[in-house]
Every structure is written in structure tokens, then in C-alpha cells.
Structure 1
Amino acid sequence: MIVRTHPTVVHGTLVSSALPDAQLAGGSDVAVNSVTDQFAAVRPGDAFIACEDAGDVHSAAKAAVARGAVAIVSERFLPVFGVAQYVVDDARNAYSQLCHAILDCPSSQLNAVAIAGGHGKTSVAMVLDSILNIAGRNVATASNQFTRIDAQRSRFVLPTTAPAVAEFMDEALASGCRQAVVELSEESLRNKVASAAEFDVVCLTNLHGDHAEGDLSPQACRDAMATALEMLTPHGMAIFNADDQDSMRVLAEYDGPALTFGLSDTADITATIAEQHTNEQMFLLTAGDETAAVRSKVIGETHVANCLAAAAIAKVYGVSLSDIARGIERVTVVPGVMHRFDAGLGVSVFLDRGTTPIARGAALSTARSVAAEKVIAVVDHACSVTEKLADKTIDTHGLANEEVVTEAVAKVLAALEVSDNKQLRTITEKLTGIALAVMSASEGDVVVVCGLDSRTARQRRVSVSMSEEQLIQNLMYELAAQQKKAA
């Protein structure tokens, strides 16, 4: 549903004005203030979008009219009478168009950025948000992990529906922001939730997803992610990952303004890693003739690449390299990206939520580069990548009854409220696997907890009273106390 985020006199938006190519198949043109694609959410006076991929559109449209819908938007004429019916080529696209029109097209009044790709989107959004704030820009950012409006955490709205994207941009504008950053997943792009938005920068972090979603082929997924470029304004800037072959193939066929980033020598924005340790890394960031030294608490080449993507976007908006460096350095933790835990045990523990082989490989390769001794992987299911890159792999499946760490894990679980027993068992297995890894490690070893929880921050927050990061840190403290007691 559409809800304005600032006071205004609402006169309604003519559906024909928002959808000029639609054919009015019945009734008279109407003005609406709200639209939804969920018939159960329809309120009197709403427009209802009947999407063909959502089930029985005829029954849904009839139910919407019964609830008070005054307009039906569909891809074919439906035998539903007494309301205005608009036939369009693409209902999903029409949904986005109508949402933005009702809110007076807020993206046209913003410097809007879309971040799309297989992975790394949230990291890029987080770093870019930090850079733009350091540079004194009023920015609103909606990502898979957080929503922030002008440096303040806002109501949690995932940019996964057409109303959510439009409302986020409306809220950004109402809050005085001039820039808006939106993370768009492959599914969001397929559903065209932001197709009516105007972006003057689109960044493709990469197109090399390891697996297709649902029944889609890997190529179909890559094609869906590349459609983000279609949302660029006529003079907008596209940003590509020079280290990603699929992105470079798209760039070869792209005829608009473009920048590239990557750790290769051919990129416009590049970097060289000078030092790498378990608690920080230092790299030299180069943009044209300028170079800046950047010290980051988040380690790994993947993080550096994400920083370069954010730097490329910032350069489009004229941010200085010194502000870019300061913005990167201010980000000390990226949730789920080589998140480091330490309780004085002499063992570094990293959480990396990457679930694909490429993501796991990157995390373990980073651990290998900073480990003084062994690399121990903790995974929900062993795979060829962990077996190849780790000295030891602990599979957490079935570890809930492990007795050797019952005391430490039990103390952590005692402070936890979980919504169901199945989830409690899963958490117990994860913590037990981590505890076993830490207890078997020697000083200088690195433990990497790989891809154990790929759900969004909101999903984790709703179902569990404590974040995964808090659980692991508390476990580390309990293990340290247990070790001290034993000594």
C-alpha cells in the first residue's frame, strides 16, 4: 500500500495519467490515492493490480472489487464489472508506475543510486552510506540489512515491493535528503519493483551468481540483474566490476557512460592490498592520478572490491578521495562479512554468511592469508570448497547432542528466546560446531563460520531475541571463562 510520509493535500492520481499506454476497457477513468497487488489488503477507493504470476487473477480481481477497489489493472480483460479496468502489457511494471505517480515521482527529485548484482550489494550500500555522510551529503539508504534516513536508522522497509521502493524515496525526499541508495535483489528486478524509478547511477557488483533461484537458469538470473541498467536516466552512469567476466560482457554491449572498478589493472577505480592481518588490512586506493592509503577493520579482497564499487559511485557525485577513504575506514563491521570475534583465546573467529562456493572460497582464502597456523571451517554441510581450502572442517549437522560443550553453549542459550524448537536445534548445532572448532584450535589458528544463516536481518530479528553476532560473541566469552576456570 502507498502511505505518504509527509503532510500534503491529496487529490488523487488519474490512473490514465500514470499509465498512458493502458487501454481503458470498462467504466470511466478514476483517480486513486492507493494501490496494492494483494486483494486481501484492498481498501475502498484503491486500485488493484492483478498480476498473472500471482494465481487466479479473475478470482482475485472479483475479491478486490468486493472489498471496494475502484480500478483493476491487468494484462488482459477480466470479466469483472462495475469498475474501471485498465489493460496493460506488463502488470508488474504498471504497479511500479502507479506507485511512483501517486507519490509525485519522488525519484525524479533525488540523486538516486541502484545497487544490483549477485552478492556484495549490502556491503557496497553500507560503505557508500558512510562515504556520503562523511562528505556531508544528506543520504537515505535502503538495503537488505538496514534502512537509514540521513544517518538515522529508520523503520525497517525492505526494498522488495513496488510500494516499499516508492515510499522509501518519498520518505527520503520528505526528510530533506538529496541522495537515495537502493539495494535491488535479482528477485526484485524480476518483479520490476523499481522499474518506474529514475536512477542516475546503477552499479552492478557482479553477475557471477553460483546458482540460479528457483527454476531459473544461471543465465536467466544474470539477465535479470542486468536489467537494472534499463532504469538509468538518459545521461546516467553505469558502474561495472572489471574483475567479473559476465559484467564485462554486458559492458561490451553497453553504449552509455560507464566506470569500472576492480583489483585488476584495467579498472578505472582500483586498489592494491599492502598489508593484511586478522584484525585489519591496508590498501592503496587509486582513482585516476590520485591514490589514498585506506586502513580497514574488515578484511578480505571481497571487501576491498565492495569498497571500490562504493568509491566509484561516490566519484560520480564529486566526492573527494580523502572523504572516500575516511568513509571506508569508518565502517568497522559489515554484518556477516568476515565479522571478527575475539575473547583473548588466541584464536580469531570470523563469521561470513556467504552461502555460495565462490563466497565460501573467498572467505577461506582470506583466512588462509592471515592465519599463522591452521584454518578451521565450520559449516552446516561440508562441500568440496571447504574440504579443499580448510585444514579442518566441522559439519554442524547433528551436533545438537554434543556433550563436550554443553555447559558453554547452554549458558548462551539460557539468555535466548526462540520462536520454535526447530530453530533452537539449528542454533544449538551452530554454536556447538563453533565451540568445538575453538576448543580444538591452537594459538594462531583461524576459525571461519561459513554461510550458516543467509536470512535477512529482519527475519532473524523477528524470530530470535538475539542476533547471530551476539550469540557468537557471548559464546566466545563463555569459552574464555571456561578456559580460565580450567586453568
Structure 2
Amino acid sequence: MIPMSLADIATAVEGRLNETADPEAIVTGGIEHDSRKVGPGGLFLAIPGAKVDGHDFAPKAAAEGAAATIASRPIDSPAVYVDDTLRALAALAREVARRSEATVVGVTGSNGKTSTKDLMGQLCASLGPTVATQGNFNNELGHPYTVCRVEPETRYLVLELAARGVGHITDLCEIAPPDIGAVLNVGISHLDGFGDIETTARAKSELPRFLAPEGTAVLNADDPRVAAMAAKTRAQVLTFGVTESADIAAIGLDPGDGRHRFTLRTPDGDAPVQLRLWGGHHVYNALAAAGVAWRLGASPDHIADQLSRAGRQSERRMDVFTLPDGTTVIDDSYNANPASMGAAIRALGQVPTAGRRIAVLGLMADLEELSDQCHRRAGEQAAEAGVDELIAVGDGTEPIIDGADGVAAATHVPDQTAAIELLRNRLRPGDTVLVKGSRYRTWEVADHLRAKEDNDK
């Protein structure tokens, strides 16, 4: 964190110091809400919870060298007292962002945010000291926590902006106003919060709407709802897509073995890219990242070289590994919506395999009345991709089987235990298996296959 005195921190969060806190003490470390991670000179954020109250760990944080705890009730160690510790974290993050000279990059979209943020983070890191959201730590806790990781030498701050309703992205932007904002796509996701796709588009448009006239909106030219956001921003507009009319374009796409290659076209020239990441959806992610890097002054050759080097950084996202018997596993189990499900199934169809293509698909959550339709479409996509065997896991996934006409073997199982047992009996050396679903709904299956990898070694 940018060093600040406890007095300055108390002012920023509209709190007050207790009698044991030294107003002149300088916080030189980061802020943590896990007392085990607090280091000397850091801050501890005490978050009260239903089962665990962070205030109970304040003495441990102080013993580890924390300068103070941000607390909402009295404690027996140096503290900044506030009414609400999460609101105080957001206020502190605003002060850190105000003091920082880093260029702030925000990215949002219905899917691909985390993978694109990881690419942007790697590209920015090649240009200077960079802080980026870890994993998908993009909510009301993770967002300000990431901003508070900024140090005086940080040049770039890359933030993933998530939303489950209108106004959420604006709230995040107000903490650390973006200089560059990228919108990847608008699709069917979180309908429990948005209600419909047009409301989703309105929520995602909050990022380009927020940008100042001197900022840059990086917009997907191939998504009509995103392209329309060009008329809703005061900022300069930079488009990306697979059509030559886009400012940042992928020309001559070659899917290869599922790791795409293309010529990156920019206003400053062209350069060849060979992605290490699996799946055609990463082409758009790479183009969005390229647009940000180009806006920051990187040359086409540098951007292409870094994109060709960039690897996966977040767990359970198109993590492709091979078991000792030659079976290939595509672990894309972190989350799922209709767009990402379709992309993963297409990737399964593109990966070369000596055996069968098997898809283990779990529920796509929060689809409301569109759930049956979207799951049936996933079954149709499996048939179109040439999937040989399909396993639909859990309640609500039965329509996947209904749509899987043309798949040689399509089975619905009640839970992950049954899916694992089915794989034990049917998986053969040389097969390729995709594991995909919302959040935890296929994690046990993926972990079983990863344990098999470790045990066989």
C-alpha cells in the first residue's frame, strides 16, 4: 500500500483512533482481512461474520506487527474505529487511488473477464510495475483490497469489474476511476440480478459511460450491444474484433490444435501471434488486452510477443493437462454461463485426441426461466462439436440430454459422485474429457481427475 500515517487513514475512512494508536505511525505494509497474512507495518481489517468475527483475531495481528486494526467495535490493540469496516476499506482504497499515479485499466463483460484481466496484467507487467486483481476477486471486498495493493512505484492497475445488478460497476469505478475501460461482451448471465439481457447491457455500459473524455473505451466491434456503447461514452473509442474494420483485429485466424494463431493488426502495423491458451474465445480476450497495451504505447511486435508468451493464471479456467495414460483433461469448471459453456464445448471439439471426446457438464446457474432452453442448447452444441459421450450432472441439467441428439452416449447422473463412478468405468487412455459447470457443481469431478494425475505419477 502507499504509505500513510494512521492519522491520515483515520481521516480517509472517517474513523477515529483509539487511545493506543499512534497518529504518527506509518502504515508501510498492506491491508489484510486474514490475520495470518498481516505483516509488520500492515493493517488488519476486522470483518464481522456469522460464524467468525475478525475482531477476535486483532491481538494476533498486532503480535505479528500490524500497525493497527480497522475495527467496528472496541478492541485491546491499536485501532481505527469505524461504523462499517467494508465501507472503510472502500474509502481507504479511494484515497490510495487518489494518491497513486498508476494508469487504471478496468475490464468487464458477461464472460471472459478473469482470463482477459490475466492477459492484460501480463501485458502491462511487461511495460512496468503492475497490480492486477487476483483470480476473480472482483466484488465489494476484492475490488478495494486490490486497489490497496498499489505501491508508489506501481504504473498500472488492472481491475476486473463484476456486477450482479445495475449500478454495481459505477460503484466500483468510483473507488478507482479507470483511464481505460474494456467491455468484452454482453450475454445471458446472472439473470437473477439483471432480469434480461438488455438490463445486462445497460449495467456493462456503466464502464464506458464513466470514462472521462481523455480516457479510452476498448469495445468489441463484433458484439452489437457492446459496439453500441461507443455512442454512450465521452472517451475515445478503440474497437477490437475479427473483422478487418476493427482498430485492433485478428486476421487469418487458424484454430490449429485449439490454441489459435493469427496476425494481429493494429493502427501501427501487424505482427504474428500464437496463443498458448486453449479455445477460440481467447482470441477476443487477447484482442482486448492488445487494445489496452497498444493504447499504453506498446508496439505491435511487443504485444504479439507477450500474447504468445502469456499463460493461464487463474484456477479452473481452460486448464488443459494430460494424465500419464495419455488422457487429456480440460478443467474449465470454475463457472459457466451459456456463452462460456458453448466456447468450452467448441474447444473440446477442436482439441486433437486419439480417443473419444467426453463432456461432463454441470448446471449453469442463475438463468431463471431460460434455464431449460440454455441447457438444451448445450446438448445441441455437444452434438455439433462431435462429442462422443456426454454426462450431465445434477438437478436442472436434464435438458442437456434432451438436446444431445446425435451424441452416441448421453447420460444424466444425480450428483458428482455418480459422475466420477461413471468416468471410472468408461474413461479410457487417450480420451479427452471436458469438465464444466457453475462454481462448485463439477469441482469434485475435476479434482478427482487431477488427483488421478498426481497418484499415477
TM-score (norm 1): 0.64
User: Helix, strand or coil: the match of 2:179?
Assistant: strand
- The answer to whether 1:177 aligns with 2:154 is yes
Give deviations 1:169-194, integer Å, cap 9, x for gaps. Answer: 343224x2111111111149617144
Name the residue aligned to 2:361: 379
Give 1:270-281 correspondences, 5 Å limit: 270-272=249-251, 274-278=253-257, 280-281=259-260
Distance (Å, rounded) in 2 between the aligned partners of 1:331 and 1:183: 18
Say if 1:196 and 1:473 are closer, same or farther in 2 by CA, change over 3 A: closer
Name the residue aligned to 1:348: 328
Offset, 1:159: 3.7
- The answer to whether 1:394 aligns with 2:391 is yes
Name the residue aligned to 1:99: 92
Offset, 1:367: 2.4
Distance (Å, rounded) in 2 between the aligned partners of 1:104 and 1:113: 12
Whether the aligned pair in 2 keeps the contact of 1:379 and 1:452 (CA below 8 Å) is no
Q: Which runs of 5+ in 1 are unaligned?
A: 20-28, 44-63, 74-91, 146-157, 399-424, 482-487
Whether the aligned pair in 2 keeps the contact of 1:396 and 1:433 (CA below 8 Å) is no
Choose which of 306, 314, 327 in structure 1 pairs with 2:306: 327
Say if 1:315 and 1:133 are closer, same or farther in 2 by CA, change over 3 A: same
Whether the aligned pair in 2 keeps the contact of 1:159 and 1:184 (CA below 8 Å) is yes
Whether the aligned pair in 1 keeps the contact of 2:290 and 2:303 (CA below 8 Å) is yes
- The answer to whether 1:358 aligns with 2:339 is yes
Say if 1:264 and 1:96 are closer, same or farther in 2 by CA, change over 3 A: farther
Letter in 2 for 1:98: A
Distance (Å, rounded) in 2 between the aligned partners of 1:437 and 1:469: 16
Larger radius of gyration: 1
Name the residue aligned to 1:200: 179
Say if 1:278 and 1:305 are closer, same or farther in 2 by CA, change over 3 A: same
Whether the aligned pair in 2 keeps the contact of 1:311 and 1:324 (CA below 8 Å) is yes
Give 1:298-317 correspondences, 5 Å limit: 298-317=277-296
User: Helix, strand or coil: the match of 1:270?
Assistant: strand
Distance (Å, rounded) in 1 between the aligned partners of 2:132 and 2:425: 39
Letter in 2 for 1:134: S
- The answer to whether 1:209 aligns with 2:188 is yes
Name the residue aligned to 2:123: 131
User: Helix, strand or coil: the match of 1:449?
Assistant: strand
- The answer to whether 1:448 aligns with 2:456 is no
Name the residue aligned to 1:475: 452
Alignment identity in percent?
Answer: 20
Whether the aligned pair in 1 keeps the contact of 2:187 and 2:200 (CA below 8 Å) is no
Give 1:96-245 correspondences, 5 Å limit: 98-100=91-93, 102-103=95-96, 105-106=98-99, 108-135=100-127, 137-145=128-136, 158-161=137-140, 164-174=142-152, 176-187=153-164, 190=168, 192-214=171-193, 216-245=195-224
Offset, 1:313: 0.5
User: Helix, strand or coil: the match of 2:131?
Assistant: strand
TM-score (norm 2): 0.68
Distance (Å, rounded) in 1 between the aligned partners of 2:422 and 2:271: 41
Name the residue aligned to 1:336: 316
Say if 1:272 and 1:213 are closer, same or farther in 2 by CA, change over 3 A: farther
Letter in 2 for 1:301: G
Offset, 1:240: 0.7
Whether the aligned pair in 2 keeps the contact of 1:12 and 1:31 (CA below 8 Å) is no
Say if 1:103 and 1:6 are closer, same or farther in 2 by CA, change over 3 A: closer
Letter in 2 for 1:380: G
Name the residue aligned to 1:52: none
User: Helix, strand or coil: the match of 1:161?
Assistant: coil
Whether the aligned pair in 2 keeps the contact of 1:349 and 1:446 (CA below 8 Å) is yes
User: Helix, strand or coil: the match of 1:140?
Assistant: strand
User: Helix, strand or coil: the match of 2:243?
Assistant: coil
